[in-house]
């Protein structure tokens, strides 16, 4: 570990596990690079051989498998077989909510073969659930936006009228999002509200409406950390979300590290009260009306943009988790301020939306991207994932814009 006060024992393998069907998820690649550069033997679970993360030179081994958390028996059997192939206990890091929930609720039989945090069994599901998080915030006195589970389209319209448009629509269990339904959307008017409500009703997906908190530049924050078995959060990083995808309601496409002691203390105090253990990623918005930080989302797992953060000894949250789970001390050091992170395949889309809204000009966007310290996909020492990402994005664009061409390719050149 670069700059660390003492050498790191990297002999224990690590496995990066993902249930999410999104092959373009870049968080797993960040873990592979972070641990792999430190000398850890890293193994990844991937959808197929063309998954961008599967192309990383820092992987010791690749397992091509699409586990479903709905079949606990098959997942446990598959992970047990994976452990037999590796041949010794390994640190297990999940990159999505479904994985964190699965390990908390079904992971006990794996503990002899894998090393992973042990939070209270029900806690990851409670925190990842959008309405259950809202209820927990009310019980704990944590600021959060008003929210409601509308039982009808009429009730949904009533909530939106009371809070005003825009309004936020979230799936109550985003890890079970049906295909074609976004987990979070900003709804500008009644027409959009009716459309989303009907789509969720048809798909049988739970819908929560949430008050939209007005904000501006520097009002959207995120928090990444790792809590040990005593619920001590170390490291604890804060940052500002400059742009997101989808715009105003999605993952960070451009963000920067910004130390915020008030916010850090607020969140670490909450984590101690919860008895939380493991990796976490929170979305927070500063409400200019009352000066309070409102908790919007609690992701009980690694955040995809975690590589924006590191301390002065080079430790990020993935390295901290590895050190703690392998019985090594996690060094204490200050957060490196000002680091910038960009997601190459999503940030241009977000920037275009801001340009159309008059909030960003092309020159400013280009300057911000050039100033980035870390990119989600491109790395000079690990180029193949970036190339595979470009291929996948290109194919996605072709298949969406030219469905007949996609049909020809799939059917051997015949459209008959």
Judged against a pLDDT cut of 50, whether residue 335 lies above it is answered with yes
CATH architecture assignment, domain 146-211: 2-Layer Sandwich (3.30)
Average pLDDT of the chain is 92
Residue 224, both tokens: 């990444």
Q: Which fold has domain 220-375?
A: D-amino Acid Aminotransferase; Chain A, domain 1 (3.30.470)
pLDDT of 409 strictly over 60: no
What is the average pLDDT across 290-296?
95
pLDDT in tens, 164-182: 999 999 999 998 888 778 8
Domain with CATH 3.30.470.20 in the chain: 220-375
- pLDDT of 115 above 90: yes
Q: With a threshold of 0.95, does the pTM exceed it? A: no
Peptide bond into 235 cis (omega under 30): yes
Q: 206-225: per-residue pLDDT in tens? A: 999 999 998 777 799 999 99
As a whole number of angstroms, the distance between CA 242 and CA 256 comes to: 7
- Per-residue pLDDT of 252-288, as tens digits, reads 999 999 999 999 999 999 999 999 999 999 999 999 9
Does residue 218 or residue 147 have the better pLDDT? 147
pLDDT of residue 401: 60
Tens digits of residue pLDDT in 3-33? 444 589 999 999 999 998 889 999 999 999 9
pLDDT at 247: 81
pLDDT of the residue at 237 = 98
Outline which parts of the chain fall under CATH 3.40.50.20: 14-123
Percent of the chain with pLDDT strictly greater than 70: 94
- Least confidently predicted of 181-190, 225-234, 306-315, 393-402: 393-402
**CATH entry, 14-123, from 3.30.420.40, 3.40.50.20, 3.30.1370.60, 3.40.630.10:** 3.40.50.20
List where CATH 3.30.1490.20 sits in the chain: 146-211
Give the mean model confidence (pLDDT) for residues 100-111: 97
Which residues face 184 on adjacent strands? 170
Most confident residue range from 89-103, 203-217, 240-254: 89-103
Identify the pLDDT of residue 414: 35
Q: What is the 3-state secondary structure (H, E, C) of the chain?
A: CCCCCCCCCCCCCEEEECCCCCCCCCHHHHHHHHHHHCCCCEEEEECCCCCHHHHCCCEEEEEECCCCCCCHHHHHHHHHHHHHHHCCCEEEEECCHHHHHHHHHHCHHHCCCEECCCCCCCHHHHHHCHHHHHHHHHHHCCCCCCEECCCCHHHHHHHHHHHCCCEEEEECCHHHCCCCCCCEEEECCHHHHHHHHHHHHHHCCCEEEEECCCCCCCCEEEEEEEECCCCCEEEEEEEEEEEEECCCCCEEEEEEECCCHHHHHHHHHHHHHHCCCEEEEEEEEEECCCCEEEEEEEECCCCCCHHHCCECCCCCHHHHHHHHHCCCCCCCCCECCCCEEECCCCHHHHHHHHHHCCCCCHHHHHHHHHCCCEECCCCCCCCHHHHHHHHHHHHHHHHHHCHHHHHHHHCCCCCC
């Amino acid at each position: 570990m670069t700059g660390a006060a003492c050498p790191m024992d990297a002999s224990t393998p690590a496995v990066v596990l993902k249930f999410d069907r999104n092959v373009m998820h870049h968080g797993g690649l960040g873990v592979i690079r972070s641990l792999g550069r430190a000398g850890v033997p890293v193994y990844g679970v991937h959808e197929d051989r063309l998954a961008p993360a599967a192309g990383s030179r820092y992987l010791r081994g690749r397992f091509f498998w699409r586990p479903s958390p709905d079949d606990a028996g098959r997942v446990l059997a598959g992970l047990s077989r994976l452990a037999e192939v590796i041949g010794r206990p390994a640190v297990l890091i999940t990159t999505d909510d479904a994985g964190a929930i699965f390990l908390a609720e079904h992971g006990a039989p794996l503990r002899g073969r894998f090393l992973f945090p042990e939070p209270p069994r029900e806690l990851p599901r409670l925190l990842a659930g959008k309405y259950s998080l809202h209820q927990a915030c009310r019980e704990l006195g944590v600021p959060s936006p008003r929210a409601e589970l509308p039982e009808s389209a009429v009730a949904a319209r009533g909530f939106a009228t009371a809070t005003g448009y825009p309004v936020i629509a979230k799936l109550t269990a985003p890890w079970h999002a049906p295909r074609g339904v976004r987990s979070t959307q900003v709804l500008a008017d009644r027409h959009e509200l009716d459309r989303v409500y009907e789509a969720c009703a048809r798909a049988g997906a739970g819908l929560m409406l949430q008050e939209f908190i007005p904000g501006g530049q520097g009002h959207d924050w995120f928090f990444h950390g790792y809590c040990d078995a005593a619920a001590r959060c170390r490291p604890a990083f804060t940052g500002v979300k400059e742009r997101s995808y989808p715009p105003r309601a999605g993952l960070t496409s451009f963000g920067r590290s910004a130390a915020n002691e008030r916010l850090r203390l607020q969140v670490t105090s909450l984590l101690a009260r919860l008895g939380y253990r493991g990796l976490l990623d929170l979305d927070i918005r500063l409400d200019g009306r009352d000066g309070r930080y409102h908790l919007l989302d609690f992701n009980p797992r690694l955040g995809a943009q975690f590589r924006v953060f590191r301390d002065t000894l080079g430790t990020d949250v993935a390295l901290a988790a590895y050190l703690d789970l392998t019985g090594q001390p996690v060094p204490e050091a200050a957060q490196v301020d000002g680091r910038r992170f960009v997601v190459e395949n999503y940030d241009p889309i977000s920037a275009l939306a801001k340009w159309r809204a008059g909030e960003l000009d092309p020159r400013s966007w280009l300057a911000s991207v050039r100033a980035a310290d870390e990119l989600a996909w491109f790395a000079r020492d690990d180029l193949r994932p970036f190339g595979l990402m470009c291929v996948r994005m290109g194919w996605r664009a072709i298949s969406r814009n030219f469905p007949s061409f996609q049909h020809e390719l799939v059917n051997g050149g015949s459209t008959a």
